[in-house]
Amino acid sequence: MTRQIRVAVLGGGSWGTTVAALAATNTPTVLWARDSDVAREIHEQHTNTRYLEDRVLPSTLQATSDMAEAVSTADVVVMGVPSYGIRAALEDVGPHIRPWVPVLSLAKGLEQGTRLRPTEVISELLPGHPVGLMAGPNLAREVLDGMAAAAVVAMADDRIASSLQVLFASRRFRVYRNDDLLGSELGGVLKNVIAIAAGMAEGLGVGDNTRAMVLTRGLAEMTRLGEAMGGQARTFAGLTGLGDLMATCMSPQSRNRRVGEELARDKTLEQVIEEMKQVAEGVRTARTVMELAREHDVVLPICAEVDAVVNEGRHPRDAYRGLQRAVAKSEHHGVA
């Protein structure tokens, strides 16, 4: 008999737990959570009330706060920790992971200082392991509630990507493949910054026309920078680009959109972050995105205004006035 593939998901937040729940319906899965109380609740009560309220997780999902226990027998490792914590988590993974085990990232941010994408950090700390990404327009609570959704497994090796697809797929959660890892990962990074702008629009009550304009021109900015960095334009029209952007900009569940909304309602960034008690990657990423834009000589008006709001104290109202002063060129300016 062929042994089932064993999956380890690292990270006990809302999306890490959801991905672990998806895998647990298909194959033996263990979730690692740094907080032993979270791990114990998932393992014994099959809930994660801190992040997912009273939603019930599969009884087959195991959980632990012991990294060695989670990783040492895993055939696939999924990194579900935020981008700012991925390096430290990987340093703990290194002594326990077996050779050649594929590693998938769920993170949607950039490492501050190095400006590395999460998959680049994985490749640096775990050389020799196939590295990929799973991403898409996925709101954790809706997926757990059984609403139809889809994601992409992106990695260079299509054969490995094919074998990973089936581990997370279900009747209502479709998993596609994409060999454009760079473009797929950048989509998840950049959409968080645009989502803050969309939240600012919501908080200011600027109207549906303006919100549609921000989303559409935001996608153009994502595509411009993504292509300049080596991604494929068509990737940004797919699930990890437009799809993820729409979900993050439109849903009240979006943490990044909420940041923009609350800032527009005159709260300070410190107040917003304290009340959320969860990570909004766009806040940490905005400045780094602008550094990359300057490096690649790409103009990103919306991202620039978001950066000014979260890092320089500009009020969202003034940010939207700044966007109104931007000169309109060809709609396809800067897009190959």
Catalytic sites, residue numbers? 191
Structural contact between residues 110 and 84, judged by C-beta atoms closer than 8 angstroms: no
Strands 131-135 and 149-154: antiparallel
- Looking at beta carbons, which pairs linking 293-297 to residues 24 or more positions away fall under 8 Å? 293/225, 296/225, 296/228, 296/229, 297/228
Amino acid type, 57: L
Contact 241, 235 (CB under 8 A): yes
What is the separation of C-alpha 275 from the centre of its chain, rounded to a whole number of angstroms? 21
Alpha-carbon distance of 93 to 91, in angstroms, equals: 5
Contact predicate 254/162, CB 8 Å: no
Reduced to 3 states (helix: H, G, I; strand: E, B; else coil), residue 96 is coil
3-state SS, residue 30: strand
Element (H, E) at 154: strand 149-154
Q: How many CB atoms lie within 10 A of CB 234?
A: 12
Separation CA 201–CA 261 (nearest Å) = 7
